[in-house]
Every structure is written in structure tokens, then in C-alpha cells.
A and B are shown apart, each in its own frame.
Chain A
Amino acid sequence: METTEERSADALVKIRDLRFSRGSRVIFDGVSLDIPRGRVTAIMGPSGTGKTTLLRLIGGQLRPQSGTIEVDGQQVPRLRHRALYELRKRMGMLFQSGALLTDLSVFDNVAFPLREHSRLSEPMVRDLVLMKLQAVGLRGARDMMPSELSGGMARRVALARAIALDPMMIMYDEPFTGLDPISKGAAVQLIRLLNDALGLSSIIVSHDVQETAAISDYIYVISDGKVIGHGTPGALGRSNSEWVQQFMKGLPDGPVPFHYPAPEYLDDLLAGT
């Protein structure tokens, strides 16, 4: 069993005492976590807890009010434009929508980062694109346009594009949401396989407990701007925290109440008479 110190020493991403708010709404209030190298780490929590915001903070698209975010030894919020873009070349991100460029074919979408950042010849680009598409099982769909793809296919193309530059890490934003069971199974398998085969470090942000727990090495559970539990999937399943149990088992009522805060039911009904 790994200790916290060992995890921290080997961390690719280190977040310490992160505070971030939008207007008066506090999204993160003192979050600290480590994303180790070579592992699949999940960040879970109910919708609206700022999981996607956390990925944007790691990617430098947002800046925190305080706290540190270190990626591969570099303080992301302090990086200047050029250095941040250099770091991003080594980070892949898979958006929930896929975020494919709609005026480019599948082939050109995957070739996009290669053409933008390298001076490879077209035959070389072609070979690399076909290899990436083969890895996600969509070599045969190279000539299709994004509008012709199903949700699952679009995300696989986006995954091929995310690994085009052979990044050190990939961030997955809700990779299983809205997928049919077959596509979901393919996505689960792909994330684990790619992580191990390419020696990546993966961060999955999700609220799909079963799929995420099946492939994650470590899970952080976030709610109300704080980390309320973390551990291996097995350890979290045995957690004493009522909150963690409610989330992991998908119980409708518990520390997170079924009813949104409201005045007394009877008072509310009588107020209209």
C-alpha cells in the first residue's frame, strides 16, 4: 500500500490549497490532491461540483484566486503565454462534446495538431494519423465528417487527436456521459489500454461510478468545494463516510438531500391561498 508521501513524490500534477470562485460562488475551497505518473486517477463528484473547472485550472485556461497547481514541475498559473502553450503540447484533453472541428474530416481533425506543431511531411502525417485512428478503431472512418459520427465515435476521434502529439498526460472530461453501453464499454477499455500502452498519466473527471471505478487506480471525491474522500476504488467502497457511501452507491437521499432547500412545504402551499 502506497503512502501519501510516496504518491506526492511521484506526482505529475500537484494541487495545493486551491481556492477558486466565480462571483460570490465558491467552487473550490482549499482543495489539495496529487495525480501520480503512469496511473489512471479519477476525480468524481455530483454534477455542478466544478470537476470540469478543475481540468481547466490544470490546463491553465482558468487561474485560481490562490493556491498552487504544479504540472511536471511547472507552476501553471504563473506560466506566460508561450510557456503555457509549450506545456499544453504535452497535455491532451478530451472534451465531453469531443470538440472536433466541424469543418474538417476525421482525418484532418487528427492531423490538425501534427500539422500545427510539426514540420512532418504529408506521408508521415498520414501514417501517424492512421496509426492513431487504428488505436481507437476508427481507421475506416477517416473520410467521414464530424456531423456523420455518433457521440461515441466523435469521442474516439477526439481521443485519437488528443494522443496525436504523444502527450505525457490526458484529461478526460466526462468520457462516459451519453454513450450507449457498447460505446461506453469501448471507452472504458480504451482509456485503460492507452494509459498502459503509451505510458500516459490519465485524469478522468466523471460521475459514472461503475465505469470509472473499474479502470481507476485512485479516486478523489469532491463536493462543496472540498475533497471529501480519496483512496483506491476498493477502499472508497468500504469508506465509513456516509457521503461517500451515498455517492458510490447512488442512493437518492442522504447527506445530499433529495429536496433542494425550500421553505416548509405546507407554508409554501398556504402562501398561495
Chain B
Amino acid sequence: MLNVVQRLGRSGLGFLERFGRAFLFLLQTLSGLPNLLPRPGLVIAQVYSTGVLSLLIIVVSGLFVGMVLGLQGYNTLVKFNAEESLGVVVALSLVRELGPVISALLFAGRAGSALTAEIGLMKATEQLSGMEMMAVDPVKRIIAPRFLGGVISLPLLAAIFSMVGVFGGYFVGVSLLGVDSGAFWSQMQAKVGFHEDIVNGVIKSVVFAVVVTWIAVYEGYDAAPTSEGVSRATTRTVVYASLAVLALDFVLTALMFREG
């Protein structure tokens, strides 16, 4: 019994220590952001590799998620003769929840794991050490642009996901199931609030972007410099980032969408 408590205590302290180090690392990364102002090319390259190269998976997933929403929404709404509200259901589901959350999960799997592997391999092949010895701070030169690139990319990807999803819902609801096109768009326009829905959705995706990219770059930087270490770090990125996104989504939803 005592052993179990001891082990629990040790792993708890270990977690806190790691979290503390990750937090200091985030502060160090943030302090490197002003250095990027005169060198936008470094950030643009990262927006390309984390954002543009993730477009395909985001667009395809957004389309199918929107189509499923259209189908499920229609099947439910038609029972109440409320199928004209399909546009609202699809748009709200995407903008408030599925857009930011699924984009963040896909981003963690596609771009987050790539960031961790890249940084971990740079560490394993002494490229980061080499930079330090060339008097170039790897946190400022390597980590900060990747962090900023991720933070810029994910909200844009989430917006694209939601937009494509709405068209997916439109295709199924209007083109295949016969919902009135005018009702689909006009109800959506009337019921989706800019501040309450869209801005809150964007805030969610910005928070997810910071957390997922932070986890990805930290895990890469903290990886054991071996092939096994990099592999474990990559797995940890996807697991921790996914759990963090889902948990934070609950917290943010509870804070943002309280009725009354």
C-alpha cells in the first residue's frame, strides 16, 4: 500500500517537474518571437509545412464530416418538420465544436508528430548542439518559428474545415435530400452569431493551436537523442495533444456557451 502511494507521489512529482520545464520552455520560446519580425521567411516556411501541407487531410475530412452532419441532421430534423433548420445545425456544430476540435486532432497527428520527429532528429544528430556552438540559440532559430507557424496555421485550417464542412452539409441536404436552398442559407445567416459562435470558435482553435504546437515542439526538444527516444516522443505528442484538446474543449465550451 505504502509502495503504491510512494509510486503515485513520485509520478505526480515527475509530472509536475516536467510541466514546469515545459512551461519555462514556452516562456523561452515566446521570448524568441520578437526576433522573427525581421525574418518573416522563417515563419512562412513553417506555415507552409505545417499548414499548407495539412490542407488535403483537412479539406477531405471537413467534407465528409459536413456530409455526415447533413445526413444525420436531416434524418432527425425531418421528424419534426424542421429540415429547413439543417443549415443552422450543420454550421453551429462545425463552427462551435467540430471545426476546431477535429482540425486540432488532425493537426496533432499530421503536423504535430512531424514537428516532434523533426526537432527530435535534429537533437539526435547533434544539429541543435552544433547550432548552440555556433552561438545560434536553437530555441530562437528552430523552435520559435515552428511554434508561431503552428499557431498561425491551425486556426486557418479550422476555418477551412468548417467552411468545407458547410458545403458538404449543403451537398447532402440540398442537392441530395431536397432541403430548400434558400432556407438552408437564410436560417444559417439568421441564427449563427458572429461573436457568440464564430469568434468563440476561433478562440477555441487559437487555444488548441498554442497547446498542440507547444506540446509538439517541447516533446521534440526534450526527446531522448536516440531513435527509440524520438519514436516515443512522437507518440507522446499525439496522445497528450489529443487529450489536451478534448479536455480543453470541455472547459472552453463550459465557459463560452452558458445559457442565461
Contact = CB atoms under 8 A, between A and B. Distances in A.
Given A85-B137, A86-B135, A117-B135, A93 B127 contact: no
B127 A101 contact: yes
Nearest to A84: B135
Contact of A91 (B130, B133, B136, B137): B133
Interface in A65-95: 85-86, 88-89, 91-93, 95
Interface in B116-168: 122, 125-127, 129-137, 141
Contacts of A112: 134, 136
B127 A102 contact: yes
B135 A99 contact: no
A101 B131 CA distance: 9
A99 B129 contact: yes
B134 A61 contact: no
A59 interface: yes
A88 B134 contact: yes
B8 to A, nearest CB: 24
Contact of B129 (A61, A113, A158): A61
Contacts of B129: 56, 61, 95, 99
B133 A93 contact: yes
Contacts of A113: 134-136
A88 B133 contact: yes
Interface of A: 56, 59, 61, 85-86, 88-89, 91-93, 95-97, 99-102, 112-113, 116-117, 158, 161, 165
Given A88-B134, A88-B135, 5 more contacts: A61-B129, A92-B133, A95-B129, A99-B130, A113-B134
26 contacts: A61-B129, A85-B135, A85-B137, A88-B135, A89-B135, A92-B133, A95-B126, A95-B129, A95-B130, A95-B133, A96-B126, A97-B125, A99-B126, A99-B129, A99-B130, A101-B130, A102-B122, A112-B134, A112-B136, A113-B134, A113-B135, A113-B136, A116-B134, A116-B135, A116-B136, A117-B136
